[in-house]
A and B are shown apart, each in its own frame.
Chain A
Amino acid sequence: AQKVTQAQTEISVVEKEDVTLDCVYETRDTTYYLFWYKQPPSGELVFLIRRNSFDEQNEISGRYSWNFQKSTSSFNFTITASQVVDSAVYFCALSGNDMRFGAGTRLTVKP
Chain B
Amino acid sequence: DGGITQSPKYLFRKEGQNVTLSCEQNLNHDAMYWYRQDPGQGLRLIYYSQIVNDFQKGDIAEGYSVSREKKESFPLTVTSAQKNPTAFYLCASSIVTSMNTGELFFGEGSRLTVL
Q: Does A64 contact B (CB under 8 A)?
A: no
In the complex, A91→B106 CA distance in Å? 13
Per-position binary interface string of chain B over residues 69-96, scored 1 when its CB falls under 8 Å from any chain A CB and 0 otherwise: 0000000000000000000101010000
Contact check: which of B101, B105, B109 meets A43 at CB < 8 Å?
A: B109
Determine how close the nearest CB of chain B comes to the CB of A51; give it in whole angstroms.
11
B residues near A102, Cβ cutoff 8 Å = 42
A residues near B2, Cβ cutoff 8 Å = none
* Total inter-chain residue pairs, C-beta < 8 Å: 53
In the complex, A9→B39 CA distance in Å? 10
Q: How many residues belonging to B are interface residues under a CB distance threshold of 8 Å?
A: 22
Determine how close the nearest CB of chain B comes to the CB of A36; give it in whole angstroms.
11
Q: How many residues belonging to A are interface residues under a CB distance threshold of 8 Å?
A: 24
B residues near A4, Cβ cutoff 8 Å = 42
Residues of B within 8 A of A (CB): 4, 35, 40-45, 58, 88, 90, 92, 100-109
17 contacts between A and B (CB under 8 A): A6-B42, A9-B40, A37-B104, A42-B108, A43-B88, A43-B90, A43-B108, A44-B107, A44-B109, A45-B104, A45-B106, A52-B101, A95-B100, A97-B100, A99-B104, A101-B42, A104-B42
